[in-house]
Amino acid sequence: MIYAASGLPYRGDPDNRMHHEESITGTPVIGNYFIQNAYRDAATPNMVTVILGDYRSIDTFGEQIVIFTAGLITLLILRRTKRRED
């Protein structure tokens, strides 16, 4: 735990380079790209939903599968046999 505390990096304060200018190698910093083009790309005001649904839709699909696994796990562990007991 002391390691985690000492591991606190001095990386500038919240408004550091990530938000403002382009990233170093010139690729558009994706945080800003989303703000500028979210509405243009998907005509949806809520940027977070656009990222969730469109730009990074595999993440959301993975999320849905995570919940599906959790549901199946409860079925697996706590259900004795499907047919006979009810």
Which residues within the stretch 37-76 sit at the binding site for another protein (CB under 8 A)?
38-76
| Shortest Å distance, C-beta 40 to another protein | 7
**Would you give the end-to-end CA distance of the chain in angstroms?**
49
Alpha-carbon span 80 to 45, nearest angstrom:
47
| Shortest Å distance, C-beta 59 to another protein | 5
| Shortest Å distance, C-beta 63 to another protein | 5
Stretch 10-39: interaction string toward another protein, x if CB under 8 A:
xxxxxxxxxxx--xxx-xxxxxxxxxx-xx
Tell which residue, 10, 84, 26, 70, has the closest CA to residue 62: 70
